[in-house]
Amino acid sequence: MTERTLPPVTTTANRTPEVLDGPVRDDSARNRLVISLLLVSAFVVILNETIMGVAIPHLMTDLSITASAAQWLTTAFMLTMAVVIPITGFLLQRFNTRPVFIAAMSLFSTGTLIAALAPGFEVLLLGRVVQASGTAIMMPLLMTTVMTLVAPASRGKTMGNISIVISVAPAIGPTISGIILSALDWRWMFILVLPIAIGALLLGAARIQNVTTPRKVPIDVFSVILSAFGFGGLVYGLSNLGSTGQSGAAAGVIPLVIGVLALALFVLRQVRLQRGDRALLDLRTFRSRTFTFTIIILGLSMMTLFGTLILLPIYMQTVLGLDALATGLLLLPGGITMGVLAPFVGRIYDRFGPTVLLAPGTIIVSGALWSMTLMSESTAPSLLMTTHISLSVGLALIFTPLFTAGLASLRPTLYSHGSAVVGTVQQLAGAAGTALFIAVMSSQSTDLINQGVTEASATAVGVQSAFMYGAIISLFAIPLAFFVRRSPVSADSPAPLVH
C-alpha cells in the first residue's frame, strides 16, 4: 500500500465557478443549506439505532415475547444497515442528491409509521427493517456530500458536526428511550420521532438541491448477493455469538462462517470489477495507508462505543439496582460531552491536524476502559458517570480526525465508496463489540451463578472481565494514531464555503 500523491496546492481565491467531479462550486449558501438539512436528518435516523435497548423489558411484557425475540428489534436494524450500506457507493454515483435524500427519509418515515401503529411483534420488526433501510442510505450520503462540497481547510469543523451524528446520537438513544418510557407507552418512541422525520422529509424535498452530477455505472447483481450474505452473515453471526447460553452462540457459528466465505468472494469480485470501474464497493480506497489506518482505529473505537452502550445499562440496572430512567440520565452527560466537544475538535483538526487529537484520544479511551475493569457492586454512580464522561471525551477526540483524514486521503471519485466503507465498518464493529462484551460477561456470570453466587455479584465480575477484553483491544489503537496523517490539499478540492 502506498499513500496517494496529490498535485500541488492551488489557490481558490480567484477561481471562477466550475464543475469539479460533477457538483457546481459557486453556491455556498445552497451548500450550507444542503449540509445542514442532511445533518439534522441524519441525527434523527441514527438516533433510532440504539433507542430500543432500554425498551426491551417493556416490549417483552406488552407483546408477550421472549428476550431473544425482543433483541431482534435491534439486531434486525443492524443487520439491514450492514446489507444496505455497501450498496450506497453505487447509489450515490448513479443518482442525484435530492432523490437519494427523498428515498432515504421516505423509507425512514414509513418505517417509523409502521412501528408506531404495529399491532404486534412481527409488524414492529418490519417497521424497524424499513427504518434501517433509510438510515443506511443517509450517513454515506451526508459524508460524501460534505467531502464533495467543503474545502479541505474547513472539513474538520464540518466533520465535527458529523461526529455528533455518528457518536452522540447512538449514545443518547438509551437516555431518550428511558425518559419516554418513564411516562409513556413504548409506541411514543416512534410517535414523537414521526413528525420530526416527516418535517425533515418535506423541508428537504422542498429545499435540497442537487449538488452532484450522476454518472451511469452498472450494478453487479452477483456482488449485491455476495454483499448481503457476507456483511449480513457477519452481523447476524456476531449478534448470536453475543446471545446468552450455548444455543445462541452455536447459532452464530454457521452464519458467521457463511459470512466470512461470502465476504471473501465479494472482495475477490470487487478487485476484478474495479479494474473497469464497475465495482459495487471499490476497495482501492485501501490503497491509501491513511484511510486504512483510520478504518482500523474506527473499528476498534466502535467496538468500544457499542460494547459499552450495551454493557453499562445491564451493569447499572442489575448490579447497582437503578431503573431505566436513572440509567438513561446517568449516561446523558457523556453524550452531551461528545456533542459539546465535537465542533472544537473540528477546529483543532483544521489548524493542527489529526495526531494532536488521536494520540491523547486513544490514550484516554484506553484509560477509561481500564478504570471500568475495577467496577463492582460498591461503585458509586457518580464515579461511574465520571468514568463514562472520560470515555466520551476520548471518543470525541477520535471520531472527527478519523472521518476527516481518512476520506480526505482519497481521490474525489472514491468519496462515495469510502463513505460506504466507513458505514459498513461501523456496523460490523458495533456488532462485534456487542457480541464480545455480552459473550464474556454472560460466560463469567453464568458460571458464578451456577456456583451459588448472587446475580448482582456474578454480573459485576462478568462486567469486569468484559471491560478487561475491551481495555486490551484499546491498546492497539494507540500506536496506530501516530500513523494517521493529514493529506496535502489537492487541486481538485472544492472552493471554500463562505462562513
**236-261 tens-digit pLDDT:** 787 776 555 555 556 668 888 898 99
More confident residue, 473 or 171: 473
pLDDT at 21: 43
Residue keyed to cell 481558490? 12
Residue 151 domain-assigned (yes or no): yes
pLDDT at 371: 94
Question: What cell numbers appear for 417 in the block?
Answer: 465508496
Residue 495 domain-assigned (yes or no): no
Query: How far is the C-alpha of 287 from the C-alpha of 5, rounded, in Å?
Result: 11
How many CA atoms within 13 Å lie on the side-chain side of 186?
A: 23
More confident residue, 346 or 74: 346
- 217 to each of 82, 223, 226, 257, 269, how far by Cα in Å? 22, 14, 19, 31, 16
Residue 163 sits in which domain range? 28-483
Assess whether pLDDT exceeds 80 at residue 275.
yes
pLDDT at 248: 52
Residue 324 domain-assigned (yes or no): yes
Residue 492 domain-assigned (yes or no): no
State the average pLDDT over residues 275-282: 82
Assess whether pLDDT exceeds 60 at residue 494.
no
Q: Which residues, including other chains, have CB under 8 Å from residue 315's CB and lie 6 or more apart?
A: 375, 459, 460, 463
Question: What cell numbers appear for 379 in the block?
Answer: 461503585
- DSSP alpha helices (H): ranges in 221-317? 221-241, 246-273, 289-314
Work out how many domains the chain is built from and give that number: 1
Residue 153 domain-assigned (yes or no): yes
Least confident of 114-123, 225-234, 386-395: 225-234
Residue 3 domain-assigned (yes or no): no
State the average pLDDT over residues 1-18: 41
Residue 489 domain-assigned (yes or no): no
Q: What is the CATH number of the domain that holds 276?
A: 1.20.1250.20
Assess whether pLDDT exceeds 80 at residue 81.
yes
Query: How far is the C-alpha of 122 from the C-alpha of 428, rounded, in Å?
Result: 25
Residue 10 domain-assigned (yes or no): no
Assess whether pLDDT exceeds 60 at residue 92.
yes
